[in-house]
Each structure stands twice: as C-alpha cells, then as structure tokens.
Chains A and B, each alone.
Chain A
Amino acid sequence: MRRDLLTAARAIIVTTIVCGLIYPLVMTGIAQGIFPGKANGSLIKRNGVVVGSALIGQAFEAPVMKKGTAVLDKAGCSEWIVAKRYFQTRPSGTGAPYNDTGTLDNAESSTFSNLGPNSVLTVAIYKCNISAYLALEKPYDPGLTVAKIPVDAINSSASGIDPQISVANALIQAHRVASVRQLSLGTVDALVHKYTTGRSLGFLGEPGVDVLELNLALDRTTSRS
C-alpha cells in the first residue's frame, strides 16, 4: 500500500517534469529560434510602434458609453462612433451590445456571444446590427437591402476577435471607404482582393479579408482623411 502510493507520487512528479517543464520550455525555445515572428503573435509594427496582430481582430468603432454602460437609442440599440475611413470587423461578443463593456475585439478576455438560435433577444440584437450596418453603408451603396447583407456582418464571431470578414462584406464596405478616402472603387476593390487570404491548400476553410492589413494598406495609399 505505502509502496504503491510512493510509486504514484514519484510517477506524477516525473511526468510533471517531463511534460510540464521540459516539453513546453524546449518547444518555446525551438519555436522562438525558427519562427520568432509567428511564435510571438504575428505582431505588426508601423513606425516602430506595435499597431496590432495580423491574426487578431481589431476594432475600428466603439459604442457610445456613459457611466460605464453603453448608451441606447430609442430602438434599444447601441450608438456607435465609427472610424469611417476603415473597413469594420465583425460584431464581437466581448463588448456591446452583448454585454456592458465598451471593448470590442478584447484580446485579453475572449468570449463567445452565446446567442441562442431560437431566442427573441437574438433577433433583437440582429435587428440592431442590421440597422447599424445599413445606416453606415447604405448612404454609399444605395442598392443595399437587408437581404443583401452577408451573414458574417451581422452574426458575431466565435472568438470575439475574428480578424477577417467575408469578401462580400468587404465589397459592400468598399463603397464607403472609397468615398471617404476619395479613391476610386476599383482601387479599393483591388486592395480587398489583394488582402484576401484564400482557403488553405485551396480547399480547407473559407476565404476571408484580413481587415487590419487591408486598413494599413489603405493608410499607406492615401494620406489620412
């Protein structure tokens, strides 16, 4: 009995040293040696300052906040301050309207929105997201209707920090970005396609537009407006 217990204790300690210290630390060392950029988060610098990660979604809009909670309009939807010269990422479960914090794309506390498929509340949030999307994009793309909005623009992502949007979503937003930046639609569309990552090996996953990298490219193209 005592011998069995002793063996068990020695076994778990040895396992801990091998699998919990040697393995992860050696892997960290090797990864830092071979892929330092990727192992440290694919960070992007501009003028020597870290402006984001190529893999982590970044917010280009924020809810209007008052006393720590999001301000709601008459329809019960959040009001937004939007940087119109930028492409916008997907709705993020880390902030309004899913909870009271103002931080969208919060990469130190990722979370799902956990919206149920049969919930009245889910419909209400979709309607808020739809009206916000239409208010933002329709002035620049008059033909836009609810039916034409791609689902990824209204449905929140899983991680809350999805770095990508669908190409359809980007091509709608391109009207606004082109107009605000006084660029031709063709120029912006070309950039959208340039910063679209296709399916891995041609068939795994789905294509998506890398929003932060696209926005950085736009900033390089035009002076800030």
Chain B
Amino acid sequence: MTFTGWLQIVVFCVLLIGLSIPLGSYLAKVYSDQRVFLTPLLGAPERFLYRLMGVDSRREQDWKQYAKSVIFFSLAGWLLLYLILRTQTIQPWNNYGGVSFHSAPWNVTFNTVSSFMTNTNWQYYGGETTMTYFSQMVGLTVQNFASAAVGIVVAIALIRGIANRTNKSLGNFYVDFVRTVLYVLLPISIVSALVLVSQGSIQNIAHYVNVHGISGLAQTIAMGPVASQEVIKELGTNGGGFFNVNSSHPFENPNGFTNFYEMFLVLIIPASLVWTYGKMAGSRRQALAIFATMFVMFIGGVTVAYAAEAHGSPAQHAAGLHTAVVANSTGGNMEGKEQRLGIAGSALFDVVTTVTSCGAVNSSIESYTGLGGAIPFANLSASEVIFGGVGTGLYSMLEYVILAVFIGGLMVGRTPEWLGKKIEAREVKLVALGILITPLTALFATALATASAAGRASIASVAGAGPQGFSETFYAYLSQANNNGSAFAGYTGYDGTFGNLAGAHGITFADLLGAFDMLFARYAPILFALAVGGALAGKRVSPAGLGTMRTDNTTFVVLLIGVIVLVGALTFFPALLLGPIVQALTGHLYH
C-alpha cells in the first residue's frame, strides 16, 4: 500500500460527503415540486413531455396505482428493447466493425434485455463484437436512463409514504420519472460526457479503424458513441460496458482522473438520496444515522480490498514474483489490472461498484485474490444496502431500518415506533419478505446451477479450477439477483464469435435462470417497498415518549450494522465458505 493510494481514497470520501449534501437537498426540491435553478430552462420541455406521454401531472397515485405504472412501463421497455436487439441486421450504423453484425441468439437476448431493464447490466456478450451502435444507443443507453429512474422514483415513493400523514398518496410515477430524467440524469450526463471526452473517451459514429502497427502487425480499433453511454452507465449505477472489458478499456476510462470521476458518478446519487430522505422525512439526524451506517461498512470494504490486492496472490508468489512496492512499480496483484489505474484505483473502484448495484469493473474480479474477491461477495451479501443502487439501495436500507426498529422494540418490550408511526404486523411482514427475497433467489439459483450438468457447463474450463468454479457460479447468481452485474467473467452463457456470429449460441440454462433471477429479485422487492410505503402512508403520528427507541443515535447505528451483517452472514456464510473463504484462508493452488 502506498501513501498516494490512501490519499486517493481519503479525498474520494471527503468529496463524496461534501457534494452529496447539496445534491441531496436539490433532489428533495425536485421531488417536492419546488423551483430549482433549472426550472426556467426545463419547465416548458417538462410540460411538453407530459403532453407527449399523455400524463395528467396532477393525478396522485396510491401504492397499487404507482406499482401498476412501474410494471407496465417496464414491460413496454422490455418489449421494445427485445425488438431492437433482435433486428440488428436491418439497423442503420451496422457493418461498422467491418462485417454486418447479426443479432445475438434469442436466449442471450432474453438475458440481456432482462438485465438492462432491471438495472443489472449483466452481460453475457462482448459489446464491440456483438452490438451495433444503434443497439447501444437507442436500445441499451435508453434502459440505462429508464432503469435508473425507476429505481430512484420507487425510493422517493417509499419516502413519501413514510412522510405522508394525511392520505394514501405516494405521488405520480410518470411525473417522478420525467423529473428524474430531465432534472437529474440528463444534465449530469451531458456535462460528464464532455468531461470524459476531454480526457480521451471517444464519442463518434465511425467505422472501426485499421491500423498499420509500427512493427508491421496490423490492428483494428473498435470505435463508437462511448462517452455518452459511459456516464449514464456510472451515474445510474447500471454498469453495462460499451466494450467487453468495461471500464478497464482505455476508451471508457482513459486515465487516473476519469477513474476517479467515474467512481464519483457511481456513488453520488445513492449517497445524496440519503440526505434527500432526511429532508423529505423532516429529520436530518435520521439521515445522518443511515449515512454513517453505510459509510462505516464502505470504508471497511475498501481497506480490506486494498490491503489484499497490494499483498499479491498465491499464484504470483508460487511463480517467484516479488509483490512488494519497489521503486517505479507498485507491486501487488496486477493480474487483470491496468497500469494507469493501479492497485488503489482498482480496489476502490471494485468496492464502489459492488456496494452499489453498478457492477462496472475496471479490473478483472475473477483475478482478485481470495480475500480481495471476498469483498464484492460481502457487499452483495449485504443486499446492496451500503449506498446501494440508485434508489434501490435506499429503499432496501429503509426496510432494514424498520427491521432493526422491530428487533430493538422486541428487546426493550415496547411497541416499535418509527418517526412517530407505529410499526405493526403488516409492515414487519412486508419488510421481512422484501429483505429475504433477494438472498433466497440467489441461493436457489446457485444451488440449481451447481447441482445440474447444464449449470456446470457455464464454468470456465481454464480459470475455474477448484473452489474458483463454485465462486464463479455463486457470484453470477448473487450478482444477478442483486441487480449488480459485475462478474467473475469466466462464467459464461454465450459462445460467440466476432461480428457475423456464425455458429454462436447461447447457453439456455444460464441465460434463462439468470434472467428470471434478475427479474424476480428486482420487481418483487419493488412491490414490497411500495406496499410498505402504502402501509405507512396516512398513518397517524404520535409524539415521541420516554419509551420511544431513538433511531438517530450511535446505538441505533450499531444495531443497524449488526442486523445487516447478521442477516447477510446467516444467509450466506455456508455458501461463502465453499468459495472465496477457502481460497483466502488456505492460499492453496488448484488444478
């Protein structure tokens, strides 16, 4: 580990805290229908979009109507994206890779469409060898915006339910959606895309470039509208790379600064939403408690991952390599890491994108050391509540808060109350289901995939030796269930070749199991979150008494961390033992 490595991490945390507070206030204004500095510019386009969509912006929705809009909108998006991805041969901007791209097979497309719609962005395909520019822009970029906005507005609806004391309204889905895209996602994306291009990210619609290498070797360089997709991929915690190697590609992530900037884009909305919650629920101290909980767990992950990767891997040491810091080289486990990003920049990026549901990678997670690779596992096992995906992180965390309040209430023998509202059987049941559904889906799919020959067919023959094969499989379904999308990339659902995809075929078992994994673990929790919002909306508020358990002090932060770790550990520990923990503890080499 180096001083500059730590400096990078510390500056990142300071900036995150510093800038998330004002953005959180801004978001609170956007969702409370107040004037913001962009209103004069965007007010007219906003009303125009409502007219185009046929939306009555004054109509309020209860939780069932809100949920219905979410489901119908998602369904329409799924169908359109499937249509786009399966008609590549008749699209404009095809054949830019030198050959005309066919569409990926139906099973791979089924997986990809479900993946982008659920904000997972799990990819069984390689971008530059499979997707036309049209599919990337008109298909995938759109779902990067839409799925992010859906996540955010569900969190906002839950907050409204928590804060609403008079009626059952959670707001209006389409109004929230349009305002999210117009006032939050698009402005930040436009500025950020230009920042990335200024550093070397590409943004063009040009043919792949043929290069005459100076030693006589030919090279073809893939092109495309990368920066515009890259920024929303980070900002919306989507994570689906334009290129196969995602943010390790120099055109997606040209230098140390862009790496830092992209990490910041990933975390800024999830962090800000915590403060937004504080504003809208009327208590900054409540938000502070949640922020502190998330931050403590985040820093723990970063420290372990950085230390593990700086130490190096058993394979390196067995080959005789020295992995200590020496003059002009950082040492460490540089397998699957880029020189310009380094160990610290890779480890931090890895933690940032796995605590959130982003799943972008700037280094190969498959090649992380056992302990370094265990951190993404741990983050996913905590069900993405450490900041988490845009919106999804906050609504999942609020469910954990209710669970902690309930457990705390049991301990002291009082009716649990939260923000003055009684937590009753209905809320606790909904919360328990909402919390358990994702781990159950992940474990069920993993068990099915490891127990069947069809599932084992996806394990990489080269890299998946010993427990690594189990780790790959487990991570695949854990990542998809949490809508993360990062991968131990040896696990595959697609045998594809470049361009015309002759002989390419998907592995139906992995494709479909993954798709159902993603869909179920996305929409069931959304429905539970909205139902909790509906249950809390309109509840009478009683003044806090002597017996009320406080939810804004250090004791509660400790209790909350305890509940999160306990639920994660009890659910996942047996499975984690079989994979990453064995590797981290033994340092064994496997055939």
Q: Do A and B come from one complex?
A: yes
- Interface residue ranges, A against B (CB under 8 Å): 4-16, 18-21, 23-25, 27-28, 30-32, 34-35, 38-43, 46, 49-62, 83, 86, 90, 93, 98, 105-123, 126-127, 130, 146-152, 154-169, 171, 197, 199-201, 203-208, 212, 215-216, 219
Q: How far, in Å, is A160 (CB) from chain B's closest CB?
A: 7
Q: Please name 14 pairs of A and B residues whose Cβ atoms are closer than 8 Å in the assembled complex, sorted by A.
A: A11-B53, A16-B142, A28-B205, A112-B364, A112-B366, A118-B313, A121-B463, A156-B335, A156-B336, A158-B364, A162-B250, A163-B340, A166-B328, A200-B257
B256 at the interface (CB under 8 A from A): yes
Q: Is the CB of A205 within 8 A of B259?
A: yes
Kindly list chain B residues whose C-beta atoms are within 8 Å of the C-beta of A120.
465, 589-591
Q: How far, in Å, is B582 (CB) from chain A's closest CB?
A: 9
Q: Is the CB of B54 within 8 A of A118?
A: no
Classify chain B: how many residues form its interface, as a range: 35 or more
Q: Is the CB of A43 within 8 A of B319?
A: no
Q: Is the CB of B336 within 8 A of A158?
A: yes
Q: How far, in Å, is B377 (CB) from chain A's closest CB?
A: 14
Contacts A51-B212, A108-B221, A204-B255 supplied; 7 other A-B pairs, CB < 8 Å: A12-B76, A19-B144, A24-B229, A106-B219, A109-B129, A113-B336, A151-B334
Contact partner, A206, options B211, B219, B339, B373, Cβ 8 Å: B339
Decide if the interface of chain A is mainly helix, strand, loop or mixed. mixed
What 0/1 pattern do residues 319 to 341 of B give for CB contact below 8 A with A? Answer: 11111001111111111111111
Q: Which of B163-171, B189-197, B550-558 contacts A (4 or more CB under 8 A)?
A: B189-197
Kindly list chain A residues whose C-beta atoms are within 8 Å of the C-beta of B216.
83
Kindly list chain B residues whose C-beta atoms are within 8 Å of the C-beta of A10.
52-54
Q: How far, in Å, is A158 (CB) from chain B's closest CB?
A: 3
Q: Is the CB of A23 within 8 A of B217?
A: no
The 5 closest A-B pairs by CB, nearest first: A205-B256, A206-B342, A158-B248, A200-B257, A204-B256
Q: Is the CB of A116 within 8 A of B338?
A: no
Q: How far, in Å, is A22 (CB) from chain B's closest CB?
A: 10
CA distance A105 to B328 in the complex (A): 24
Q: Which residue of B lies closest to A192 (CB)?
A: B328
Q: Is the CB of B137 within 8 A of A42?
A: no
What 0/1 pattern do residues 185 to 205 of B give for CB contact below 8 A with A? Answer: 010011001100111111111
Kindly list chain B residues whose C-beta atoms are within 8 Å of the C-beta of A55.
200, 250-251, 254
B55 at the interface (CB under 8 A from A): yes
B105 at the interface (CB under 8 A from A): no
B453 at the interface (CB under 8 A from A): no
Within 8 A of A (CB), among B211-247: 211-217, 219-223, 225, 227-229, 232, 243-245
Q: Which of B4-12, B28-36, B277-285, B394-402 contacts A (4 or more CB under 8 A)?
A: B4-12
Most buried by B among A4, A21, A27, A206: A206
CA distance A104 to B124 in the complex (A): 22
Q: Is the CB of A151 within 8 A of B332?
A: yes
Q: Is the CB of A110 within 8 A of B259?
A: no
Q: Is the CB of B200 within 8 A of A62?
A: no
Q: Which of B66-74, B383-391, B529-537 contacts A (4 or more CB under 8 A)?
A: B66-74
Supposing A28-B228, A120-B590 touch, asked if A161 and B249 sit within 8 A by C-beta, the answer is yes
Kindly list chain A residues whose C-beta atoms are within 8 Å of the C-beta of B345.
204-206
B177 at the interface (CB under 8 A from A): yes
Q: Which residue of B lies closest to A21 (CB)?
A: B138
Within 8 A of A (CB), among B103-156: 126, 128-129, 137-139, 141-142, 144-146
What 0/1 pattern do residues 67 to 96 of B give for CB contact below 8 A with A? Answer: 011001101110010000000000000000
Contact partner, A118, options B137, B208, B583, Cβ 8 Å: B583
Q: Is the CB of B366 within 8 A of A171?
A: no
Kindly list chain B residues whose C-beta atoms are within 8 Å of the C-beta of A126.
315-316, 318-319, 321
CA distance A162 to B346 in the complex (A): 14
CA distance A60 to B213 in the complex (A): 8
Kindly list chain B residues whose C-beta atoms are within 8 Å of the C-beta of A57.
250
CA distance A122 to B215 in the complex (A): 29
Q: Is the CB of A204 within 8 A of B8?
A: yes
Kindly list chain A residues whose C-beta atoms are within 8 Å of the C-beta of B181.
15, 18-19
Kindly list chain A residues whose C-beta atoms are within 8 Å of the C-beta of B219.
52, 56, 58-59, 105-107
Kindly list chain B residues whose C-beta atoms are within 8 Å of the C-beta of A215.
214
Supposing A10-B54, A117-B583, A157-B337 touch, asked if A108 and B194 sit within 8 A by C-beta, the answer is no
B314 at the interface (CB under 8 A from A): yes
Q: Is the CB of A41 within 8 A of B368?
A: no
CA distance A71 to B139 in the complex (A): 43
CA distance A123 to B7 in the complex (A): 33
Kindly list chain B residues whose C-beta atoms are within 8 Å of the C-beta of A106.
219-220
CA distance A60 to B218 in the complex (A): 10
Most buried by A among B177, B251, B468, B489: B251
B353 at the interface (CB under 8 A from A): no
Kindly list chain A residues whose C-beta atoms are within 8 Å of the C-beta of B245.
110-112, 158-160
CA distance A90 to B254 in the complex (A): 17
Kindly list chain A residues whose C-beta atoms are within 8 Å of the C-beta of B73.
8, 11-12
